[in-house]
A and B are shown apart, each in its own frame.
Chain A
Amino acid sequence: MMEFTDDQLLRYSRHIILPEVGGRGQEKILKAKVVIIGAGGLGCPVGYYLTAAGVGTLGLVDNDTVEMSNLQRQIAHSVNTIGMPKVESAARTFQALNPDVNVVQIQQRISKDNILDLIKDYDIVVDGSDNFPTRYLVNDACVMAGKPLVSGAILRFEGQVTTIVPGEGPCYRCLFEDPPPPGLVPSCQEAGVLGVLPGVIGGLQATEVLKLILGKGEVLKGQLLIYDALKTSFRKVKVPKNPSCAICGENPTITELADYDQGYCAMP
């Protein structure tokens, strides 16, 4: 087992004293590599807590810059970083919290041509993206690469989380076969979101990531967790694996990645 520095003993003591974590579990966390797609509403809390937990390498993928309208929910950014690439703004915040963590800034828009390369060096992928084309592309790439994926989504007062473990459970396409047509997706004016909602959903996603790293507890495999902030209610919906799923089924029809139309509103 690794030797912890005095600072690490202090920083991670509340982890180490948990029987489910201990020194060995903390060592796993310190060696883990997690990539987060999107440094926005979900990516900020997920990255913030994984940084605090001591995840060794944290990849951040985002091509946007910080805007004033982000600050109602994207807690890693600030008025001082408006105009700055979100990956850089978030990396600064995370490094101030825990300099142990290697934050890798990937300022790129994800596409079918770069995604497999972007995720290949990581153990776990977190989807905090704000649009359906990216969500499906990330799902398909993770199924193809066999990478566990913790997927989260938020809209208005409702959020969803599920954990996809390729080869073991259903994927995002088993749940929703195809992206909805752009007309069905709320327009920017309609698509409000309660600022704290990504904190709840991102916190759940970070928890799923840590359980995957530790190999403890039960993750949301084959289950969609739905949070209703107005009612303060959580619902779990069972999601069966679809044997005829286009990507993870017995005879997949999707054998190479494709980019979907980008005619969607960017929200989280």
Chain B
Amino acid sequence: MTADKAAETREARMEEIMPDKRINIKGLVCPYTFVKAKLAVEAMETGQVLEVLLDYEEAARSIPKSMEDHGQKVLKVEKINETDWVLQIRKEKE
């Protein structure tokens, strides 16, 4: 790896947001996926970031939408392997 490339990778890593809280809701289906995520956000401070690991595809679409409807900021929706998604949500309001 060249020096430039290594710097770039470091930079990309710096941009990765460290979540303040992580929840694993694999195995859950709607609406409990959103219930769990919403309760987690409610318990956090404004500005903090929640990371959600889930394996229910519909929730990977519906949770971000519902969170935005509730005024929160969706930072990331990423399929990380065959079965799982990772979401990051920043709490913008109570």
Interface residues of A (CB under 8 A from B): 1, 4, 9-10, 13-14, 16-17, 19, 22-24
Contact = CB atoms under 8 A, between A and B. Distances in A.
B66 interface: yes
A23 B39 contact: yes
Nearest to B94: A24
A10 B31 CA distance: 9
Given A1-B43, A17-B66, A22 B31 contact: no
B32 A22 contact: no
B57 to A, nearest CB: 19
A16 B70 CA distance: 12
Given A4-B39, A16-B38, 18 more contacts: A9-B32, A9-B35, A9-B39, A13-B35, A14-B31, A16-B35, A16-B39, A17-B31, A17-B38, A19-B69, A19-B70, A22-B38, A22-B42, A23-B38, A23-B39, A23-B42, A23-B43, A24-B42
Nearest to B70: A19
Contacts of B69: 19
Which residue of B36, B38, B69, B70 has the most chain A CB atoms within 10 A of its CB atom? B38
Contacts of A10: 32
Interface residues of B, number: 12
A23 to B, nearest CB: 5
25 contacts: A9-B32, A9-B35, A9-B36, A9-B39, A10-B32, A13-B31, A13-B35, A14-B31, A16-B35, A16-B38, A16-B39, A17-B31, A17-B34, A17-B38, A17-B66, A19-B69, A19-B70, A22-B38, A22-B39, A22-B42, A23-B38, A23-B39, A23-B42, A23-B43, A24-B42
Interface string B11-38: 0000000000000000000011011101
A97 B36 CA distance: 24
Interface string B40-74: 00110000000000000000000000100110000
Which residue of B31, B35, B36 has the most chain A CB atoms within 10 A of its CB atom? B35
Nearest to A25: B42
Contacts of A16: 35, 38-39
B56 to A, nearest CB: 15
Nearest to A12: B35
Which residue of A1, A10, A17, A22 has the most chain B CB atoms within 10 A of its CB atom? A17
Contacts of A22: 38-39, 42
Contacts of A24: 42
A85 to B, nearest CB: 38
Nearest to A16: B35
A23 B36 CA distance: 10
Contacts of A23: 38-39, 42-43
B33 to A, nearest CB: 10
Contacts of B38: 16-17, 22-23
Contacts of B42: 1, 22-24
A267 B69 CA distance: 47
Contacts of B39: 1, 4, 9, 16, 22-23
B43 A17 contact: no
